[in-house]
Structure 1
Amino acid sequence: MTFASPARSRRALLVLSALGVAALGASAAYAATPSAAAKVGQPAPAFSATDARGKPVSLAALKGKTVVLEWSNHECPFVQKHYTGAMQALQKKWTGQGIVWLTVLSSAPGEQGGVSPTEANKLSVDRGAAPTDVVMDPKGELGRLYGARTTPDMYVITPDGTLAYMGAIDDKPSTNQADLKTARNYVDEALVAVTTGKPVAVSATRSYGCSIKYSS
C-alpha cells in the first residue's frame, strides 16, 4: 500500500477546491430551466399586480400590445452591466414603438435589491431607466408564476397573449461591460420578429445573473 506525500495531497486538495469554486460560480451565474406556468408558444400566465406608483397592472388590460417583462435587481452586477446604457437604450427604442415594457422587482424587503415603491421610482430616475412601468412584487408571486430565476430574466409576450420568448437578455453571461459590444441580444431579436410578424428564431434560452432574492 502506498500513500501520497503531504505536499502532493495538499496540491490535490487545492485543485479540488478550485474546481469547487468554479462550479459554484457557474451555478450562481446560470439558472436551470424553470418548471413554471410560463411556456413558450402557450398563453402567458395571467397576472394582476401594482406598479411603483400604486396603480394596478394586469396582463388582461394589456391585450393587443406586445409586452416585455424584465426582472431586475439594481444591486446585481449582471444587471449593473446592462444599466450602463444598453438596457435604457433598448427600453427607449421599443417603448417608443408602442411596446409595453414592465420592469419587475421581486426581491423581498430587506434582501439584495429589495426596495420600496418610492425607492423604485427614484431608482428609475437615477439610472435613466425608461420602462413603461415598474411592477412591485415583494412577495415574489409574479416571479414564481413565471419561473423567473435570475436578474436579468426576460420574457416577451405577443399582442394575443402568447409567450414568444423567455430567458437571457443576450449570449454573454458575464459582468464585463465590454461584452455588450459583441453580444447577441435575444430580446431585441424577438421583438423585431414579433413586430414584423415573423417567427422568433431563438425562443428560449437559459437565463444568467444573480439569483432572485425571493421571500421565504
Structure 2
Amino acid sequence: MKSTNKTLFALLLALGVNAQALEPYKKSQATNWLGVEVVEPQLAGIGAAIADIPFFELRGHSSSLHKIAGPKGTVMVVRDPECPVSRRYGPRISAMANSYSDKGFSFAFIYLNEHLDADRLQKDARDLQVSGIKIGKGSFTIAQALGVRSTGDVFVLDSKQRLIYRGAIDDQYGFGYTQDAPTHNFLRNALEAELKGRSVVTPATLAPGCVIDADPEKDDLLPIPPDAALS
C-alpha cells in the first residue's frame, strides 16, 4: 500500500509542479516517464550486432548503416519534428553531434513520422544545423532492427556495429516531467566511456517521447527521394 501511495504521489507531484511540462502532440500516445528507469542490458539487446541495412538519405543519396560508421562508432537518433520531446532535444543533440563527430563518431537521424511530406522533413533537417546523416526511406526498417520504442530514443553502435547504449539522451525532459538541468547524461557518458575504452555504466534506459510503431512497411509511406529506389 505504501508503494502504491508513493507512486501516486510521484505522479501527482510531476503533473502538478511541472506546469510547463511537455504534452504529447495531437492524439499520440506518450511513453510512461517519471524519471530514470534503467533497463536490464540483456533485455535491451546490448552487445548485439546490427545488420548493414540500406537506406536513402532525405536528399536522395543511397547508403547503408555500416557505410556511414565513424572510426569510433555510430550514434542513431530518432527524430520526429512533431514530437515536443524530439523538438526540445534538437539543439542539445545537434551540439553533441558537432562535438563528438570530431572525436570519431558519426551521427545519423532516422525520421519516424510517415505523415510528414518531403518539405517538412527537409526543413527539420536544415534546422538541426548539423552535418549528420538524415535518413528518410529505410528509417522504419532500421528502427525495427534497433528496437525503437520512443521518439526520444538514441542508440550507440561501436566500431564493430555492436549496440553499446540505447535509451534517453539524459533525464531532463519528458511528458509531465521536467528538471532545471539533467542529473544523468546517459548518452554523453556512453560516448565518453567508448572513447576511453571502458564499459558503459548505464547501457540501457527507457526514453521519454511518443510511442513508435517500428513497422518496416511504413517505409513505403515515406516521401520517395528524387530518382531513388531501394535495390
TM value normalised by structure 2: 0.68
* Cα 1:174/1:66, change in 2 over 3 Å: same
Measured against aligned partners, the alpha-carbon deviations of 1:95-148 in whole angstroms (never above 9, x if no partner) come to 23231100000211x2xxx342x43232222x3431511011477222122211
Moved over 4 A (4+): 175-178
**Residue equivalent to 2:46:** 40
**Residue equivalent to 1:150:** 150
Distance of 2:157 and 2:88 partners within structure 1: 25
Q: CA deviation at 1:38?
A: 7.2
Give structure 1 stretches of 5+ with no counterpart.
1-17
Distance of 2:136 and 2:83 partners within structure 1: 17
- The one-letter code of the counterpart of 1:107 is N
* Cα 1:76/1:45, change in 2 over 3 Å: same
2:88 is aligned with 1:81: yes
Contact 1:88 1:129 in 2 (8 A): yes
Cα root mean square deviation, aligned: 3.2
- The one-letter code of the counterpart of 1:160 is K
Distance of 1:91 and 1:129 partners within structure 2: 10
Aligned residues: 184
Distance of 1:131 and 1:104 partners within structure 2: 14
Q: CA deviation at 1:45?
A: 3.3
**Residue equivalent to 2:130:** 130
Q: CA deviation at 1:176?
A: 8.1
**Residue equivalent to 1:101:** 107
**Residue equivalent to 1:55:** 61
2:210 is aligned with 1:210: yes
Higher Rg: 1
Q: CA deviation at 1:90?
A: 1.2
Distance of 1:176 and 1:93 partners within structure 2: 30
2:73 is aligned with 1:72: no
Contact 2:56 2:138 in 1 (8 A): no
Identity of aligned residues (%): 21
Distance of 2:140 and 2:194 partners within structure 1: 28
Give structure 2 stretches of 5+ with no counterpart.
1-10, 16-23, 222-231
**Residue equivalent to 1:121:** 122
**Residue equivalent to 2:31:** 29
Deviates more, 1:186-195 or 1:164-173: 164-173
Equivalent position SS for 2:98 = helix
Deviates more, 1:196-205 or 1:171-180: 171-180
Distance of 1:180 and 1:95 partners within structure 2: 27
